Amino acid sequence: MKHIRTISGATLKQSASGGGCGECQTSCQSACKTSCTVANQRCEQKKKD
């Protein structure tokens, strides 16, 4: 396409199919201890790939 280019697809929608296994890291434990950004965490299932 010429006018708009997709950089990343419907990742969020696809992620719903897994149901949420809960094995991933708790967000506040990682570095900050004061905020709750989750987007910089990784999915435990995808880590295995």
Positions in the binding site for ligand SF4 (CB under 6 A):
28, 34-36
DSSP one-letter code for 28: G
Q: Which residue carries 């990343």 as its tokens?
A: 8
Give the separation between CA 46 and CA 1, rounded to whole angstroms. 29
Given the complex with ligand SF4, which of 15 and 45 has the nearer CB atom? 15
Cβ pair 45, 18 in contact under 8 A: yes
CB of 36 to other proteins, least distance (A): 4
Query: Can residue 48 be called a binding residue for other proteins (CB under 8 A)?
Result: no
- List residues near other proteins by CB under 8 A: 1-16, 18-20, 22-44, 46-47
